[in-house]
Structure 1
């Protein structure tokens, strides 16, 4: 995952469905009621093919609320620049200066998110200020997941997710036929302009073995439960960070960069139990029982408390996968 070439404001300004109604508040909310905004929220939008978002709010009910936010449009876990809670309405966003097109004058745009609490959910809207084209969204509290990788989980029967011959068992992330992918020389290959694809089968706790090969300067990812991306990136020899190969994208940095040069086959051995993830990258353990706080920008499935598929990213450069094996873990 990385930032896309099209700016967030430019990409969204002309694409949102119109219309949003909020339920009326029953009198001015108290500070205690404002505290109900605190916590982590998994978000779905009204746009049919949109990815999931994630929001964390702290210090609601005080003069200094703060928050963090993830959307697919920027890709990163961003600290919120501007945030307020007034009369029962959460309002946050960013101010951006950008050139809409090469050579165009600099334009200042405000990206505005608002929400109210309705029956325990966030009912909200997003728009580029002045566009009058809001995108509706709904946030539910992220679930508490009690499973931990405590050594008590038993391995089930391994399942081959790719048969080496065709794309049986895989669909585009929106459930349609995959675009931009093919099977070549026993490998599942994306041209670099393919959609993200996901298994039709869904899983909860598991071990996952994946072999992959990148073209030079390419970028991809494996999304666990179709929510949590382990980054794939051509960054051989660079210092590790939260966007490096082997990272839980924008959330957990690997302890080292274990990448091989582009065009060589590489391996991930990943273990996911509850919110704890362990990543072994080309035989080196780079994340050990790291705690996943929430969704990453590759997430298409916001229902964190349910099993999810294994997704592969296909729109950031040529990439191939082979030998994709999952082993369910159970008590």
Structure 2
């Protein structure tokens, strides 16, 4: 009986001790201190909202990392352009190194990022364009999940059809400014972006657009996610075509281009979920936007943001009847 009692005490002690032993082991792996290489990759895996800091300004960026056969694979949205695979990402212990090629960055040198965890964030240095030293930081991209269906508020007209009240240029010194013609908001081409001064979280947006031949523009939702408008991207990937979320989601079905004709979008954005109706036909139905697109104003995805319209890269683009219905808080 005494022997059994002693054995029982030892068994209970083991049962009490083992959970702490295993918990410590799992924490080490999760923190990447003494885990395997795949543990380190798991620590950095997921989507990150980046901010690149040069001596004179900040640039938003986005990075997504996952594992394939135990090795890190990544895609990135740089200072501009679309989401693209990056050729090099290395993770060792608690440090990450990745490279954005000079061809994608319009630089004479590759942008080389080196970073480490900083609390729940990442921070580090990079070799900026032309070899200049920059810094960068990153936070995990928010899920932006919503509970229940939104309750819609009162519609707001963002453009009065008379002047630029409520809007501002991205470059106040540009000579190719937006103007109002016959009740429409017009970019003549090769000009700045125009940004609405109000900020919104979840909303429905009705907007009508007229895209000239060989023109290329877009509508940025919260100033971060571009719904594409174009007449010159036939040879590019489908996500670069009118009605797509640039670089991420292609319209389906894709409607025929109508240069010089008025068309409409009815866009609903709730959290990360987007629906796009073009000319009365649904071309994107409750799709999740992975992250910011090139040309975003910032990478603070958890925050409200403005509607901004991209100045056409070529030829003119015009907008009218810009009506936004916000979700009530």
TM-score of the two chains, using structure 1 as the length reference: 0.79
CA gap of 1:50–1:165, structure 2 versus 1, over 3 A, is: farther
Aligned counterpart in structure 1 of residue 92 of structure 2, from 86, 90, 106: 86
Question: Residue 90 of structure 1 contacts residue 114 of structure 1 at CA under 8 Å; is this kept in 2?
Answer: yes
1:65 deviates by: 1.0
Higher helix share: 2
In structure 2, what is the equivalent of residue 204 of structure 1?
201
Question: Residue 259 of structure 1 contacts residue 282 of structure 1 at CA under 8 Å; is this kept in 2?
Answer: no
Query: Where in structure 2 are the equivalents of 1:18-97 lying within 5 Å?
Result: 29-31=33-35, 32=39, 35-47=42-54, 48-59=56-67, 64-73=71-80, 75-95=81-101
Deviations 1:261-284 (A, max 9, x none): 211111111011111100001111
Query: Where in structure 2 are the equivalents of 1:1-331 lying within 5 Å?
Result: 29-31=33-35, 32=39, 35-47=42-54, 48-59=56-67, 64-73=71-80, 75-95=81-101, 109-127=109-127, 131-147=130-146, 152-173=149-170, 180-234=177-231, 241-317=238-314, 318-330=316-328
Deviations 1:130-174 (A, max 9, x none): x541222211111121216x5x32221110101111111112347
Alpha-carbon distance between aligned partners in 1 of 2:181 and 2:77, rounded to the nearest angstrom: 35
Which 10-residue stretch deviates more, 163-172 or 29-38?
29-38
SS in 2 for 1:212: strand
CA gap of 1:307–1:124, structure 2 versus 1, over 3 A, is: same
Alpha-carbon distance between aligned partners in 2 of 1:236 and 1:67, rounded to the nearest angstrom: 25
Question: Residue 51 of structure 1 contacts residue 298 of structure 1 at CA under 8 Å; is this kept in 2?
Answer: no
In structure 2, what is the equivalent of residue 104 of structure 1?
none
Alpha-carbon distance between aligned partners in 2 of 1:85 and 1:315, rounded to the nearest angstrom: 40
Alpha-carbon distance between aligned partners in 2 of 1:132 and 1:46, rounded to the nearest angstrom: 14
What is the count of residue pairs matched by the alignment?
291
Alpha-carbon distance between aligned partners in 2 of 1:188 and 1:44, rounded to the nearest angstrom: 31
Deviations 1:180-207 (A, max 9, x none): 2111221111121222222111111111
TM-score of the two chains, using structure 2 as the length reference: 0.79
Alpha-carbon distance between aligned partners in 1 of 2:86 and 2:92, rounded to the nearest angstrom: 17
Alpha-carbon distance between aligned partners in 1 of 2:85 and 2:110, rounded to the nearest angstrom: 16
SS in 2 for 1:271: strand
Question: Residue 100 of structure 2 contacts residue 112 of structure 2 at CA under 8 Å; is this kept in 1?
Answer: yes
SS in 2 for 1:242: helix
SS in 1 for 2:239: coil
In structure 2, what is the equivalent of residue 9 of structure 1?
none
Structure whose alpha-carbon radius of gyration is higher: 2
CA gap of 1:128–1:203, structure 2 versus 1, over 3 A, is: closer
Question: Residue 41 of structure 1 contacts residue 142 of structure 1 at CA under 8 Å; is this kept in 2?
Answer: yes
Considering Cα pairs closer than 8 Å and 6+ residues apart, tell me whether 1 or 2 has the greater RCO: 1
SS in 2 for 1:289: strand
Question: Residue 214 of structure 1 contacts residue 320 of structure 1 at CA under 8 Å; is this kept in 2?
Answer: yes
